[in-house]
Amino acid sequence: MTETDPMADEFDTMAAWTAEAVAELGPDHAIPAACRGSGSPAALEWLCDRLRLGPGVRLLDCGAGVGGPAELAARRHGVAPVLAEPMIHACRASARLFDRPVVVATGDRLPFASGVFEAVWSLGVLCTVPDQAGLLAELRRVSRPQALVGLLVFLRTVAHLPQQPEGNHFLTDGELNGLLARTGLTVLERAELSDFADPEPDWQAAADRVEAVIERRHGADQRWQSARSQEQVIGQLISEGLVTGRLLVLQPAA
Ligand SMILES: C[S@@+](CC[C@H](N)C(=O)[O-])C[C@H]1O[C@@H](n2cnc3c(N)ncnc32)[C@H](O)[C@@H]1O
Protein backbone atom coordinates (compact mmCIF):
# COMPACT_ATOMS: atom_id res chain seq x y z
CA MET A 1 0.00 0.00 0.00
CA THR A 2 1.32 3.48 -0.87
CA GLU A 3 1.88 5.83 2.09
CA THR A 4 0.13 9.14 1.45
CA ASP A 5 0.88 12.63 2.72
CA PRO A 6 -2.27 14.68 2.06
CA MET A 7 -0.43 17.98 1.51
CA ALA A 8 2.08 16.41 -0.87
CA ASP A 9 -0.71 14.53 -2.66
CA GLU A 10 -2.70 17.71 -3.17
CA PHE A 11 0.09 20.15 -3.99
CA ASP A 12 2.97 18.05 -5.33
CA THR A 13 1.69 14.87 -6.98
CA MET A 14 -1.42 16.57 -8.38
CA ALA A 15 0.80 19.30 -9.83
CA ALA A 16 2.84 16.77 -11.77
CA TRP A 17 -0.31 15.03 -12.98
CA THR A 18 -1.78 18.39 -14.01
CA ALA A 19 1.20 19.16 -16.27
CA GLU A 20 0.94 15.65 -17.74
CA ALA A 21 -2.78 16.11 -18.48
CA VAL A 22 -2.19 19.53 -20.09
CA ALA A 23 0.43 17.91 -22.34
CA GLU A 24 -2.28 15.53 -23.51
CA LEU A 25 -5.03 18.14 -23.95
CA GLY A 26 -3.09 21.12 -25.27
CA PRO A 27 -1.63 24.40 -23.98
CA ASP A 28 -4.97 26.24 -23.99
CA HIS A 29 -5.78 24.15 -20.89
CA ALA A 30 -2.69 25.24 -18.97
CA ILE A 31 -3.80 28.41 -17.15
CA PRO A 32 -7.25 27.24 -16.00
CA ALA A 33 -5.71 23.97 -14.78
CA ALA A 34 -2.81 25.75 -13.09
CA CYS A 35 -4.93 28.16 -11.03
CA ARG A 36 -5.27 25.93 -8.00
CA GLY A 37 -7.36 27.53 -5.34
CA SER A 38 -6.72 31.07 -6.42
CA GLY A 39 -10.27 31.96 -7.17
CA SER A 40 -11.75 33.26 -10.38
CA PRO A 41 -10.06 35.23 -13.17
CA ALA A 42 -12.27 38.15 -12.13
CA ALA A 43 -10.83 38.08 -8.61
CA LEU A 44 -7.29 37.88 -10.00
CA GLU A 45 -8.02 40.81 -12.29
CA TRP A 46 -9.18 42.87 -9.28
CA LEU A 47 -5.93 42.08 -7.52
CA CYS A 48 -3.80 42.86 -10.61
CA ASP A 49 -5.49 46.22 -10.88
CA ARG A 50 -5.17 47.07 -7.17
CA LEU A 51 -1.50 46.00 -7.06
CA ARG A 52 -0.86 48.30 -10.05
CA LEU A 53 0.63 45.50 -12.10
CA GLY A 54 1.95 46.59 -15.47
CA PRO A 55 4.64 45.86 -18.05
CA GLY A 56 7.98 44.89 -16.54
CA VAL A 57 6.81 44.94 -12.90
CA ARG A 58 8.68 42.25 -10.94
CA LEU A 59 5.98 40.22 -9.19
CA LEU A 60 6.80 37.58 -6.61
CA ASP A 61 4.19 34.82 -6.38
CA CYS A 62 4.83 33.11 -3.04
CA GLY A 63 3.34 29.61 -2.85
CA ALA A 64 2.78 29.77 -6.59
CA GLY A 65 1.66 26.17 -7.02
CA VAL A 66 1.54 25.31 -10.73
CA GLY A 67 1.86 28.99 -11.65
CA GLY A 68 -1.48 29.78 -13.31
CA PRO A 69 -2.19 33.11 -11.54
CA ALA A 70 1.31 34.50 -12.22
CA GLU A 71 1.04 33.45 -15.86
CA LEU A 72 -2.32 35.16 -16.20
CA ALA A 73 -0.80 38.36 -14.78
CA ALA A 74 2.15 38.05 -17.16
CA ARG A 75 0.00 37.59 -20.25
CA ARG A 76 -2.63 40.18 -19.39
CA HIS A 77 -0.43 42.84 -17.78
CA GLY A 78 3.11 42.13 -18.95
CA VAL A 79 4.54 41.57 -15.46
CA ALA A 80 7.79 39.66 -14.98
CA PRO A 81 6.82 36.97 -12.48
CA VAL A 82 9.13 35.07 -10.15
CA LEU A 83 7.65 32.00 -8.49
CA ALA A 84 8.51 30.54 -5.08
CA GLU A 85 6.97 27.21 -4.12
CA PRO A 86 8.07 24.47 -1.70
CA MET A 87 6.78 21.47 -3.68
CA ILE A 88 9.37 20.36 -6.20
CA HIS A 89 6.90 18.78 -8.61
CA ALA A 90 4.77 21.90 -8.60
CA CYS A 91 7.91 23.91 -9.49
CA ARG A 92 8.70 21.49 -12.29
CA ALA A 93 5.10 21.57 -13.51
CA SER A 94 5.05 25.37 -13.70
CA ALA A 95 8.42 25.41 -15.46
CA ARG A 96 7.15 22.83 -17.94
CA LEU A 97 3.91 24.72 -18.62
CA PHE A 98 5.06 28.34 -18.55
CA ASP A 99 8.86 28.47 -18.35
CA ARG A 100 8.96 31.30 -15.80
CA PRO A 101 11.72 31.66 -13.16
CA VAL A 102 10.88 29.50 -10.14
CA VAL A 103 12.66 28.60 -6.90
CA VAL A 104 11.91 25.79 -4.48
CA ALA A 105 11.36 27.65 -1.22
CA THR A 106 8.99 28.01 1.69
CA GLY A 107 7.46 31.42 2.23
CA ASP A 108 8.98 31.88 5.67
CA ARG A 109 12.54 31.68 4.27
CA LEU A 110 12.57 33.32 0.88
CA PRO A 111 15.93 33.17 -0.95
CA PHE A 112 15.82 36.80 -2.09
CA ALA A 113 17.49 39.99 -0.96
CA SER A 114 15.37 42.53 0.89
CA GLY A 115 13.35 45.10 -1.03
CA VAL A 116 13.66 43.63 -4.52
CA PHE A 117 10.06 43.09 -5.66
CA GLU A 118 7.72 45.82 -6.91
CA ALA A 119 4.71 43.66 -6.14
CA VAL A 120 4.18 40.48 -4.14
CA TRP A 121 1.24 38.16 -3.82
CA SER A 122 0.42 34.93 -2.07
CA LEU A 123 -2.85 33.26 -3.01
CA GLY A 124 -4.54 30.57 -0.96
CA VAL A 125 -1.28 29.91 0.88
CA LEU A 126 -1.51 31.41 4.37
CA CYS A 127 -3.84 28.71 5.70
CA THR A 128 -1.46 25.95 4.56
CA VAL A 129 1.56 27.39 6.35
CA PRO A 130 2.56 26.54 9.94
CA ASP A 131 4.54 29.79 10.46
CA GLN A 132 2.01 32.34 9.24
CA ALA A 133 3.73 35.32 10.89
CA GLY A 134 7.03 34.21 9.36
CA LEU A 135 5.50 34.13 5.87
CA LEU A 136 3.97 37.60 6.20
CA ALA A 137 7.24 39.00 7.57
CA GLU A 138 9.09 37.61 4.56
CA LEU A 139 6.56 39.05 2.09
CA ARG A 140 7.13 42.39 3.71
CA ARG A 141 10.93 42.04 3.77
CA VAL A 142 11.29 41.27 0.05
CA SER A 143 8.93 44.10 -1.00
CA ARG A 144 10.36 47.35 -2.27
CA PRO A 145 9.36 50.55 -0.47
CA GLN A 146 5.94 51.54 -1.90
CA ALA A 147 5.28 48.00 -3.16
CA LEU A 148 1.90 46.48 -2.37
CA VAL A 149 1.25 42.96 -1.16
CA GLY A 150 -1.80 40.97 -2.27
CA LEU A 151 -3.26 38.07 -0.34
CA LEU A 152 -6.04 35.60 -0.90
CA VAL A 153 -6.80 34.17 2.52
CA PHE A 154 -9.31 31.51 3.50
CA LEU A 155 -10.84 32.43 6.85
CA ARG A 156 -12.85 30.46 9.38
CA THR A 157 -16.21 32.08 10.17
CA VAL A 158 -17.02 29.82 13.14
CA ALA A 159 -15.22 28.93 16.37
CA HIS A 160 -14.83 25.26 15.46
CA LEU A 161 -14.92 23.54 12.09
CA PRO A 162 -16.64 20.14 11.85
CA GLN A 163 -13.79 18.91 9.68
CA GLN A 164 -10.60 20.36 8.31
CA PRO A 165 -8.32 19.47 5.40
CA GLU A 166 -5.05 18.13 6.81
CA GLY A 167 -2.28 20.69 7.22
CA ASN A 168 -4.64 23.69 7.08
CA HIS A 169 -4.85 26.31 9.81
CA PHE A 170 -7.71 28.70 9.06
CA LEU A 171 -7.60 32.00 10.93
CA THR A 172 -10.65 33.97 11.99
CA ASP A 173 -11.11 37.54 10.80
CA GLY A 174 -9.93 38.84 14.18
CA GLU A 175 -6.87 36.58 14.25
CA LEU A 176 -5.89 37.69 10.74
CA ASN A 177 -6.24 41.37 11.61
CA GLY A 178 -4.09 40.89 14.71
CA LEU A 179 -1.45 39.03 12.71
CA LEU A 180 -1.34 41.70 9.98
CA ALA A 181 -1.03 44.48 12.55
CA ARG A 182 1.81 42.67 14.34
CA THR A 183 3.61 42.14 11.02
CA GLY A 184 3.35 45.80 10.01
CA LEU A 185 0.98 45.28 7.09
CA THR A 186 -1.87 47.78 6.74
CA VAL A 187 -5.04 46.76 4.91
CA LEU A 188 -5.74 49.22 2.08
CA GLU A 189 -8.56 47.30 0.40
CA ARG A 190 -10.45 44.07 0.80
CA ALA A 191 -12.96 42.08 -1.21
CA GLU A 192 -14.87 38.87 -0.69
CA LEU A 193 -14.11 36.09 -3.17
CA SER A 194 -17.79 35.16 -3.30
CA ASP A 195 -18.62 38.62 -4.73
CA PHE A 196 -16.72 37.95 -7.96
CA ALA A 197 -18.23 36.36 -11.05
CA ASP A 198 -17.65 32.66 -11.59
CA PRO A 199 -15.14 31.75 -14.30
CA GLU A 200 -16.45 31.77 -17.88
CA PRO A 201 -17.88 28.40 -18.98
CA ASP A 202 -14.97 27.68 -21.36
CA TRP A 203 -12.44 28.31 -18.56
CA GLN A 204 -14.31 25.95 -16.23
CA ALA A 205 -14.73 23.38 -19.02
CA ALA A 206 -10.97 23.37 -19.67
CA ALA A 207 -10.24 22.88 -15.96
CA ASP A 208 -12.82 20.07 -15.82
CA ARG A 209 -11.29 18.30 -18.83
CA VAL A 210 -7.90 18.35 -17.12
CA GLU A 211 -9.46 16.93 -13.93
CA ALA A 212 -11.12 14.19 -15.98
CA VAL A 213 -7.85 13.18 -17.64
CA ILE A 214 -6.11 13.06 -14.26
CA GLU A 215 -8.89 10.90 -12.86
CA ARG A 216 -8.79 8.58 -15.87
CA ARG A 217 -5.04 8.12 -15.50
CA HIS A 218 -4.69 8.12 -11.72
CA GLY A 219 -8.13 7.68 -10.18
CA ALA A 220 -7.18 4.29 -8.74
CA ASP A 221 -4.11 5.74 -7.06
CA GLN A 222 -4.41 6.38 -3.32
CA ARG A 223 -2.69 9.72 -3.74
CA TRP A 224 -5.41 10.89 -6.15
CA GLN A 225 -8.08 9.78 -3.68
CA SER A 226 -6.33 11.58 -0.84
CA ALA A 227 -6.01 14.81 -2.87
CA ARG A 228 -9.65 14.58 -3.98
CA SER A 229 -10.78 14.09 -0.40
CA GLN A 230 -8.79 17.18 0.72
CA GLU A 231 -10.41 19.23 -2.06
CA GLN A 232 -13.86 17.96 -1.17
CA VAL A 233 -13.46 18.93 2.48
CA ILE A 234 -12.47 22.50 1.66
CA GLY A 235 -15.16 22.71 -1.02
CA GLN A 236 -17.79 21.65 1.51
CA LEU A 237 -16.58 24.12 4.15
CA ILE A 238 -16.76 26.96 1.62
CA SER A 239 -20.18 25.95 0.29
CA GLU A 240 -21.54 25.89 3.87
CA GLY A 241 -20.04 29.33 4.57
CA LEU A 242 -17.83 27.98 7.36
CA VAL A 243 -14.74 29.05 5.47
CA THR A 244 -14.67 32.09 3.21
CA GLY A 245 -12.15 33.54 0.77
CA ARG A 246 -10.99 37.13 1.18
CA LEU A 247 -8.73 39.23 -1.02
CA LEU A 248 -6.57 41.84 0.64
CA VAL A 249 -4.33 44.61 -0.62
CA LEU A 250 -1.69 45.41 1.97
CA GLN A 251 0.81 48.17 2.42
CA PRO A 252 3.97 47.40 4.34
CA ALA A 253 4.76 49.97 7.03
CA ALA A 254 7.69 52.18 6.06
C1 LIG B 1 -4.11 26.23 -2.49
S2 LIG B 1 -2.53 26.13 -3.22
C3 LIG B 1 -2.49 27.66 -4.12
C4 LIG B 1 -1.50 27.64 -5.24
C5 LIG B 1 -1.43 28.93 -6.05
N6 LIG B 1 -1.12 30.06 -5.21
C7 LIG B 1 -2.74 29.17 -6.78
O8 LIG B 1 -3.50 30.04 -6.32
O9 LIG B 1 -3.00 28.51 -7.79
C10 LIG B 1 -1.44 26.45 -1.83
C11 LIG B 1 0.05 26.43 -2.21
O12 LIG B 1 0.83 26.82 -1.07
C13 LIG B 1 2.01 26.05 -1.08
N14 LIG B 1 2.63 26.05 0.25
C15 LIG B 1 2.47 25.16 1.27
N16 LIG B 1 3.27 25.47 2.31
C17 LIG B 1 3.94 26.59 1.95
C18 LIG B 1 4.93 27.40 2.59
N19 LIG B 1 5.38 27.12 3.83
N20 LIG B 1 5.42 28.46 1.92
C21 LIG B 1 4.96 28.75 0.67
N22 LIG B 1 4.04 28.02 0.02
C23 LIG B 1 3.54 26.96 0.65
C24 LIG B 1 1.52 24.68 -1.51
O25 LIG B 1 2.57 23.84 -1.91
C26 LIG B 1 0.56 25.05 -2.61
O27 LIG B 1 1.19 25.12 -3.86
Q: What is the model's pLDDT at position 132? A: 97
Span 137-155, average pLDDT: 97
The pLDDT tens digits for 160-207 are 999 988 889 999 999 999 999 999 999 999 999 999 999 999 999 999
Sort 104 into a burial class: Cβ within 10 Å, 0-12 / 13-18 / 19+.
middle
Q: What is the model's pLDDT at position 164? A: 87
Query: In this structure, what is the dihedral angle of CA atoms 142, 148, 154, 160, given to the nearest 10 degrees?
Result: 80
- Pocket residues: Cβ below 6 A from ligand 1: 11, 35-38, 62-65, 68-69, 85-87, 90, 106-108, 123-125, 128-129
In the structure, what pLDDT confidence band is assigned to residue 3 with cuts at 50, 70 and 90?
low
Q: What is the model's pLDDT at position 214? A: 98
Span 85-111, average pLDDT: 98
Contacts of 160 (CB under 8 A, 6+ apart): none
Ligand 1 mean position, distance from CA 201 (Å)? 26
User: Which atom in ligand 1 lies closest to the alpha carbon of residue 39?
Assistant: 8
- Cα–Cα distances in Å, from 235 out to 108, 110, 164, 206, 232? 27, 30, 11, 19, 5
Ligand 1 mean position, distance from CA 63 (Å)? 4
CB-facing half-sphere around the CA of 227: CA atoms within 13 A: 22
Q: What is the model's pLDDT at position 4? A: 79
Sort 85 into a burial class: Cβ within 10 Å, 0-12 / 13-18 / 19+.
buried
* Nearest of 24, 33, 26 to residue 71 by alpha carbon: 33
Span 119-123, average pLDDT: 98
- Helix H or strand E encompassing 166: none
User: Which atom in ligand 1 lies closest to the alpha carbon of residue 106?
Assistant: 20
Ligand 1 mean position, distance from CA 152 (Å)? 11
Amino acid identity, residue 205? A
Is 77 in contact with 55 (CB distance < 8 Å)? Answer: yes
* Nearest of 83, 84, 85, 77 to residue 51 by alpha carbon: 77
Q: Which domains does the chain have, with CATH numbers?
A: 6-252 (3.40.50.150)
Ligand 1 mean position, distance from CA 148 (Å)? 20
Ligand 1 mean position, distance from CA 51 (Å)? 20
Is 170 in contact with 243 (CB distance < 8 Å)? Answer: yes
Cα dihedral sign, 4-224-95-37: negative
The pLDDT tens digits for 32-41 are 999 977 668 9
Is 140 in contact with 187 (CB distance < 8 Å)? Answer: no
Mean pLDDT estimate for the chain: 95
CA distance from start to end of the chain: 53
Residue 109 to residue 124: CA distance in whole angstroms: 18
Q: What is the model's pLDDT at position 176? A: 98
In the structure, what pLDDT confidence band is assigned to residue 2 with cuts at 50, 70 and 90?
low
Pocket test for ligand 1, best of 85, 94, 233 (most atoms within 8 A of CB): 85
Which of the 8 DSSP states describes residue 123?
Answer: E
The pLDDT tens digits for 241-253 are 999 999 999 999 8
Which residue has a Cα nearest atom 27 of ligand 1?
Answer: 65
User: Which atom in ligand 1 lies closest to the alpha carbon of residue 130?
Assistant: 19
Residue 196 to residue 199: CA distance in whole angstroms: 9
Is 209 in contact with 25 (CB distance < 8 Å)? Answer: yes
Helix axes of 88-98 and 14-25: crossing angle, nearest 10 degrees: 20
pTM here is 0.97
Pocket test for ligand 1, best of 87, 128, 138, 153 (most atoms within 8 A of CB): 128
Which residue has a Cα nearest atom 26 of ligand 1?
Answer: 65
Q: What is the model's pLDDT at position 1? A: 42
